[in-house]
Each structure stands twice: as structure tokens, then as C-alpha cells.
Amino acid sequence: MSPFTGSAPRTREWEHLRLTLDGAVATVTLARPDKLNALTFGAYADLRDLLAELSRTRSVRALVLAGAGRGFCSGGDVDEIIGATLGMATDALLDFNRMTGQVVRAVRECPFPVIAAVHGVAAGAGAVLALAADFRVADPSARFAFLFTKVGLSGGDMGAAYLLPRVVGLGHATRLLMLGEPVRAPEAERIGLLSQLTEEGQADAEATRLAHHLAAGPALGYAQTKALLTAELDMPLAAAIELDAATQALLMNSADYAEFHAAFTGKRPPAWQGR
């Protein structure tokens, strides 16, 4: 995403989520604990716009996506979204579904790593938000459920049918998206859905620790790695190798590449600049 901004001022307060900044680490908390952080139209829009704003600042180097209360996110609010969509015209429904997909694209395309800290339930859209993150850190009692067929819709919502087979393979993805049955954290780790399984109650802390570790690293190298992982999913090998070569040639002119050599020869840790 481009760092260049127009005339609109930066948003000072977000109505549908909570943003905290700790140095180069941002934490975005879904904050409707009484509703298991069920998403509303406004929550989707805030996530889409916040990720775009943070991407333009270039001061954020890692982001933790968390949920307040007893769970990560129970998906779309039954009354405020599912009930409301029953009365919407096709053009409005298309706008809404495009918006939910824009949130997933924003997670995948932002130039910093995103770590989902999952405890309790991650269901429906909540499961896809976690899926879209670069890392998924979860408590042993966490559970994931792609519930879309349970409400009569396609399991391929918000890019789930694209992302999930690439994370866990087609067989597991077919089972999870077709049946919509919950998968608890130990099985999620076994099939490759989790990046890290923590001790109970430690997902938020471990996700934050990982975020600070990443934020202290070579941010430009991380950003380009994330971009290549997404871009090369559908590329033939020859095109992927050529894109890798062009990317490495650019990064070999970066300050961080020179800093590694200076640190190595000076027998000291690198002081990464992210440029």
C-alpha cells in the first residue's frame, strides 16, 4: 500500500474496535465482549480503513489482532448483519460482500506482519480473519469453525476457499469449509492451521512477544517476504523465480543489507532500520 496520503486527516478514534500502539507494534482489539466480538457493518469498515491508515504511516512494523472477553470473534452478528441482509437488494449485498473481502485483502496486503491471538471461539468471519493473518497463535482451548454452510451459504466466503487449501491442503480445507464443524487448537496445530500453540491463557502475551520480535527486525525484508508469499501463490515457477531475483536485487541496495555486513564484520547485533 502506498505511503502517500491525501487531504483527509488521520482518524483519531475508532468506534467499532480498540487500537493501542506500543512503539512499532499496533494491537487491534475487537471489543464487543458481550457479543463474543461479533462483527457489524461498522466493524468491517473500521478494520478495512484502519489497516489502510496504518499501512500508510510506515511507523507500524507488526500488528496483533485480538479479541476482548471470552473469545476472539464469533463472526457476523446474527441480528445486525444476517437479519439485516435478508432485506437488502442485490446491489447492496454485493457491496457488503465486497467490503468483507476488502478486509481480508487489507490483512494480506498491509506491509507488516499480522499476528492473530486466538482464545475461545474464532467462527465464521472470525475464523477467516485469523486465517488471513500471517501468524496464528492460540490457546489450547481455542476453536475454529468456518460456519458459512451452517447458515445456508457457500463455505468460500471472504477468500476462505482460496486461502485455506493453501494453508492446510485441499482435503482438510474441504472438510472444514463443507461441514463447518469446529476444530480445536490441538488439531488445528496438527493440520498446519496454527503457527504456535501456547499454554492456556497465553495467546495474547505470546502474540505480543512475537510482534515485538518482528518489529525489531528487518521490516523491509519482512514486507517483501509477505508480498512475495501472496503474489507467488498463483505464479508459475519461472515467474516466481524472476520476481524473487528482482526483489533481491532491490533489497541488496537497502540500508539493512549493508547493516548486516557491517554488524557481522564488527561482531555486533544488527541495528535494523527497515529501509
| 65-88 core/surface letters (b: 16 or more CB in 10 A; e: else) | bbbbbebbbbbbbeebbeeeeeee
Please give the grid coordinates belonging to residue 220.
Answer: 523491509
Q: 131, 107 in Cβ contact below 8 A?
A: no
What is the model's pTM? Answer: 0.95
Handedness of CA 198, 203, 207, 208 (dihedral sign): negative
User: What is the distance between the alpha carbons of residues 122 and 182, in angstroms, rounded to a whole number?
Assistant: 9
User: For the chain, how many helices (H) and strands (E)?
Assistant: 11, 9
Query: Is 9's pLDDT higher than 90?
Result: no
Query: Where residue 4 falls among pLDDT bands split at 50, 70, 90?
Result: confident
* pLDDT band at 1; cut points 50, 70, 90: low
Calculate the alpha carbon distances from 74 to 91, 119, 256, 268 in Å. Answer: 26, 11, 41, 46
pLDDT digits (tens, 9 = 90+) for 59-71: 999 999 999 999 9
Each residue's pLDDT tens digit, 32-54:
999 999 999 999 999 999 999 99
For 18-61, list the strands marked E by DSSP: 18-22, 25-30
Averaged pLDDT for residues 65-94: 95
pLDDT at 206: 98
Report the pLDDT averaged over residues 83-90: 94
Number of C-beta neighbours around residue 130 at 10 A? 28
As a whole number of angstroms, the distance between CA 54 and CA 31 comes to 19
pLDDT digits (tens, 9 = 90+) for 88-132: 999 999 999 999 999 999 999 999 999 999 999 999 999 999 999
Q: What's the pLDDT band for 11 if we cut at 50, 70, 90?
A: confident
CA 188/CA 30 separation, integer angstroms: 22
Contacts by 225-230, CB closer than 8 A, 24 or more apart: 226/108, 226/111, 226/112, 226/113, 226/134, 227/109, 227/111, 230/108, 230/109
Mean pLDDT of 199-207: 97
